Amino acid sequence: MTVRIAIAVALFLLLSGVAWWLERRRRTHAPSQGTASTPAQLDRLDFDRPDAPWLVVLFTSNACASCAGLYDKALPLASEDVAVVEVEFPGRRALHERYHVQAAPMTLVADHEGHPLRVMASDPARVSVGVGGRPASTGPTSYLPGRPVRWRCSGSASIASRP
């Protein structure tokens, strides 16, 4: 009887060890990552007031809850030197497609040549315009133009999945 118990315990330990080893070897796939590229340059003729030295563009979507009210928050930045433009999906779908915008909201601050100096996946109220109309700061959510961005703004809506 003792031999049977010893064999059962040994078998249990052996099978437990094999199960543990197989579980450790199993690779889990990382969750899918939503990434999007930001425009490296904008054609200023695509937007209102191409002659303004600075352009603040808000790429938004009518299906994006966190996009609601962003234009009103960015409007105080508008001045003689700063043009503020909202590009809402699907109303201005062609511009979203032209600049490969796949997530909203996205705010860009571009110079007179259309080079984005700041790209944010958040509230444009974080942009402050400093001396001479130059963007002074954008807070912790700014990204480099032309680089992949992992959208971290809560409530960001993927545009690519919509018809």
CATH number at residue 141: 3.40.30.10
pLDDT-derived band of residue 12, with 50, 70 and 90 as boundaries? very high
Q: What is the pLDDT of residue 56?
A: 92
User: Does residue 162 have a pLDDT over 70?
Assistant: no
The model's pLDDT over 97-119, given as tens digits with 9 standing for 90+, comes to 899 888 888 888 999 999 988 77
Residues 6+ apart with CB under 8 A from 44: 50, 55, 110, 112, 113, 114
Domain that holds residue 130: 35-158
* Residue 93 included in any domain: yes
Cα–Cα distance between 43 and 87 in angstroms, integer?
14
Question: Tens digit of pLDDT for each residue in 37-53?
Answer: 788 899 999 999 999 99
First to last CA, the chain: 71
- At residue 28 the predicted structure's pLDDT band, cuts being 50, 70 and 90, is low
* Total number of domains in the chain: 1
| Range in 6-15, 20-29, 143-152 the model is least confident about | 143-152
**Residue 113 domain-assigned?**
yes
